[in-house]
Chain A
Amino acid sequence: MMIDNVIHAAVVMTTPVLLAALGGLINRVGGLVNIGLDSMMLAGALFGLIVASMTGSWPVALLAAAAAGGVVGLAMSLAVTRLQANEIIVGLGFLVAVAGLVRFFLSSAYGSSGTLSLPDVARLPRIDIPFVADVPILGAILSGHDPLTWAAWAMVPITVWFLARTRLGLRLRAVGAAPQAARALGLNPLALRDLSTVYAGVMSGLAGAYLSIGVVGIFNEGITAGRGFIALAAFYFGRNRPWATATCALLFGFFDAFQIRMQGRGIPAELVQTLPYVMVIVVLTAVAVAGRRARARRP
């Protein structure tokens, strides 16, 4: 059924954005706006694929991707927190530098330009739920998805709980909102900020691996297609609230899935592929305008 296919694809395309957005959300709560999420996704996608091919094990591949993203995150965080570099400039620098390094690595290690296809790549398994799988729509929503998708959605309430109820969550919020005050109380704002950026890197690395070993099974230097920026839009628009952020990620996933269905129907593919990005801008603008109107009406 077509509608089931679109729903299934929407869930799939939401996962990478959701993972990166939840990481970026924690990072922003901790006081760093991470515009380099996309570079961490790219690193995770590449190392995830290589390790999946080497070991034949998807959990090990995910660990490798998380580590790759985390290392990029740590490097970026140290540049911002210890060298007092501007977070926007450093983020841009990492986007360009990681893309360049990836291309260099592909050509020098594999002699390939832009695309890497490896043998015996362990793909993420699908979890089929008996009976539910046969129910229309519900089956497409719940069944046939991989563990990382389930983990990503489980992280939404966990993130809510973590920020509101745990010591680390409270400290992270304090450090992001009032670093001076937190320091005066004996907290270490820079270390907490580094920790949150490493977490953002880990989550983005997983998001990247999801694209390479979950969705397509090969690596391409354009594999992230700017999803790190969509993630940025998601947590910005969700104002650091995990459920609102997830909704925004889902919105993108839906249009991404729709776009895939629209391909090959006479409209140029390049144009169709811009649809999810354009729609995210349109919807976010519309919601923001509606919100402003509602506020203006309130007495």
Chain B
Amino acid sequence: MQAAEEKPDPSIRLGARGVTRRFGPVLANDAIDFRARRGTVHAIVGGNGAGKSTLMRILQGVDRPDSGVILLDGAPASFAGPAEAFARGVGMVHQEFMLAPGLTLIENLILASEPADGFGRIDRAAALAKARELEALAGVSLDWDTPVEDAPVHVRQIVEILRLLYRGADVLILDEPTAVLAPAQVRELIALLRKLRDEGRTILFISHKLDEVLAVADEITVIRNGRVVDSLPRSSASREGLAEMMIGEVLARPEPRAATAGTPVLEVAGLSARDLRGHAALSGFDLTVRAGEIVGIAGVAGNGQDEIAASVTGLCRIDAGTIRLAGADIAGQTLAQRRSAGLAYLSPDRAAEGLCLAAPIAENAIAGHHRRPDLCSRGVLRRKAIARHVGDLLDRYSVKRASDRQPAGSLSGGNQQRVVVARELDGDPKLLVACQPTRGVDIRGIDFIHRCLLEYRDKGGAVLLVSEELEELVALSDRIVVVYGGRITGEVMRGSAGLEEIGRLMLGGRQG
């Protein structure tokens, strides 16, 4: 395609014209066009594998397009690397935060452009003055000497944004910035972004969460399968319309029927446990999950929900309390014993705990079931039986794959999670502990996994669901238990409370 010579339009702060990037047979970006006008929030919306990350890498100078150009102030530009993108005012807040652990917040703020004297001594007073200035701009108050690892996620995110401002960036690219935030924090972030926009900065907001996109964006570009589906102003966008553009069709939300809860499957009583750093995370925690029931745990990250899941699955040692699975105390049992007693687990960290990305899909799909006599006899794996079993299993869960022998890491995030769900629900477990079951999964995958969970529940399964996605909790759970500081602050039955009430409980409010 001949790139038509157009007159540079300086009101376009950042954009792309015909950006195409190919990885082997996969066309990750196919002639992507978008134009983010100065002083606006421009959202880029798309599901997993739509090509958002590739486009971001190109806009950051980490990757180069095969053809097409980046537009900067309306004129074609190219970045040799992230440093050059920075130098020209384009900065990015990554989904996995890029603050250096072991450094304090202020050290991270000034890193790589430190105020210093001729001997290389850091001018700490100047650094702090600058930090206070940025703090006031963002309308927050931070303890700048906190080590990064002790700062809550939303504070880290603010520091990343302020770092971009410190470095003089006036184009902020935010990649899925709300994934780690509680609802109130999302509103604060949106308010901050509006403020920065009103001061003339340009914001590129990458997300697949349509409600937030609609709340913050001035213009929206939807991409699917590496192509731009449409670019439209906020005023002419609707949730349904965007969703349809993202996935190419309308998905009906699964309408769960009322639960018919049976006998208790999981009974946790008086549970006390510590987090990885040895601080008390849970004390005297009680929880029951019955057969045919999904119990959701809501809480801002780090309020004990991870330890509940880890205690039940056996990944962390508990200090006190009992954990009963179908009546039998499993608190002293090994992970393998718990699994053979009917426990299944969807890890929040798919790459590290859920799968072995370097191993073939087939081996991942039987991991944990590899002792079953039909798959293994006298310690020798029965390859044919496994191939048959895995083939059936993955077909049932519609895992898109070229071969069962390809490494799990070569699948998209959504398909990886399907493999995990398929494996964990295989063999009819009594209890499924599902942590962040749809993290990093696209809309279609989310829908599929939700259906799997509901179907499992309807067949009498018990689900303990831990999720940072409130909508997910509300959509699936029969009961939501809200935790704050390792204690239950409230319990909400299906349909009896809105997001606002749950959000209030998550921040430590008591149930009225």
Residues of chain B with a CB closer than 8 A to A184's CB: 60, 82, 92, 94, 98
Residue of A nearest to B100 (CB): A178
Bound CA span A167–B112, Å: 8
A186 in contact with B99 (CB, 8 Å): no
Check: A177 CB closer than 8 A to any chain B CB: yes
Let me know if A181 and B102 touch, CB within 8 A. Answer: no
A174 touches B121 (CB 8 A): no
Instruction: List which A83-128 residues lie within 8 A (CB) of chain B.
Output: none
**Given the contacts A170-B122, A184-B98, A186-B112, A177 and B103 also touching, CB distance less than 8 Å:** yes
Task: Take A167-B122, A170-B107 as given contacts and tell me if A178 and B114 are in contact as well, using a CB distance cutoff of 8 Å.
Answer: no
Give chain B residues whose Cβ lies under 8 Å from the Cβ of A177.
100-103
Give which listed residue, A166, A178, A296, A299, contacts B98 with CB less than 8 A: A178
Which B residues touch A182, using CB under 8 A? 100, 111-112
Q: How far is the CB of B167 from chain A (nearest CB, A)?
A: 8
User: For the complex, what is the distance from the CA of A167 to the CA of B87, rounded to whole Å?
Assistant: 20
The total of chain A residues at the interface (CB under 8 A) is 22
Contacting B278 at CB < 8 Å: which of A185, A186, A298?
A298
Q: Are the CB atoms of A170 and B98 closer together than 8 Å?
A: no
Contacts of A293 in B (CB 8 A): none
Residue of A167, A183, A298 near B120 (CB, 8 A) is A167
> Bound complex: CA of A90 vs CA of B480, how far in Å?
54
Contacting pair A173 B100 (CB below 8 A) = yes
Is A168 an interface residue, CB under 8 A from the partner? yes
Interface size on B (CB < 8 Å)? 29
Chain B residues lying within 8 Å of A166, measured Cβ to Cβ, are 116, 119-122
Among A165, A167, A296, A298, max chain B CB count under 10 A is at A167
Q: Which residues of B contact A296 (CB under 8 A)?
A: 278
Give every chain A residue within 8 A of B87 (Cβ-Cβ): 186
Residues of A within 8 A of B119 (CB): 166
B280 at the interface (CB under 8 A from A): yes
Docked pose: A174 CA to B108 CA in angstroms:
8
In the complex, which of the residues A167, A173, A299 contacts B114, with contact meaning CB atoms closer than 8 Å? A167
Instruction: Decide if A82 is an interface residue (CB 8 Å cutoff).
Output: no
Is A187 within 8 A of B112, CB to CB? Answer: yes
Cβ–Cβ contact B86 & A185, under 8 A: yes
Residues of A within 8 A of B116 (CB): 166-167
Residues 134-188 of A at the B interface (beta carbon under 8 Å): 165-168, 170-171, 173-174, 177-178, 180-187
Q: Is A265 interfacial (CB 8 A cutoff)?
A: no
Given A167-B116, A171-B112, A298-B278, does the pair A178, B101 have CB atoms closer than 8 Å?
Answer: yes
- Enumerate chain B residues within 8 angstroms of A298, measured Cβ to Cβ: 278
Q: Which residues of B contact A171 (CB under 8 A)?
A: 111-112
CA distance A168 to B86 in the complex (A): 21
Task: Please provide the chain A residues from 170 to 226 with a CB less than 8 Å away from any CB of chain B in the complex.
Answer: 170-171, 173-174, 177-178, 180-187
- Distance in Å: Cβ of B410 to nearest Cβ of chain A: 22
- Residues in A with CB closer than 8 Å to B111 are 170-171, 174, 182, 185, 187
Q: Does B83 contact A (CB under 8 A)?
A: yes
Q: Given A182-B111, A186-B112, are A168 and B98 also a contact pair (CB < 8 Å)?
A: no
Q: How many angstroms between the C-alpha atoms of A283 and B120 in the bound complex?
A: 39
Please give, as numbers and ranges, the residues of chain B lying within 8 Å of A185 by CB-CB distance. Answer: 82-83, 86, 111-112, 167
- Which residues of A pack against B, CB within 8 Å? 165-168, 170-171, 173-174, 177-178, 180-187, 295-296, 298-299
B interface residue numbers (CB < 8 A to A): 60, 81-83, 86-87, 92, 94, 98-103, 107-108, 110-112, 114, 116, 119-122, 124, 167, 278, 280
Given A167-B116, A178-B100, A295-B278; 19 other pairs, CB 8 A cutoff: A166-B119, A167-B122, A170-B110, A170-B122, A173-B102, A173-B103, A174-B112, A177-B102, A177-B103, A178-B99, A178-B101, A184-B82, A184-B92, A184-B94, A185-B86, A186-B82, A186-B83, A298-B278, A299-B280
Interchain Cβ contacts under 8 Å between A and B, 8 examples: A166-B121, A173-B102, A178-B101, A181-B100, A184-B94, A185-B82, A295-B278, A296-B278
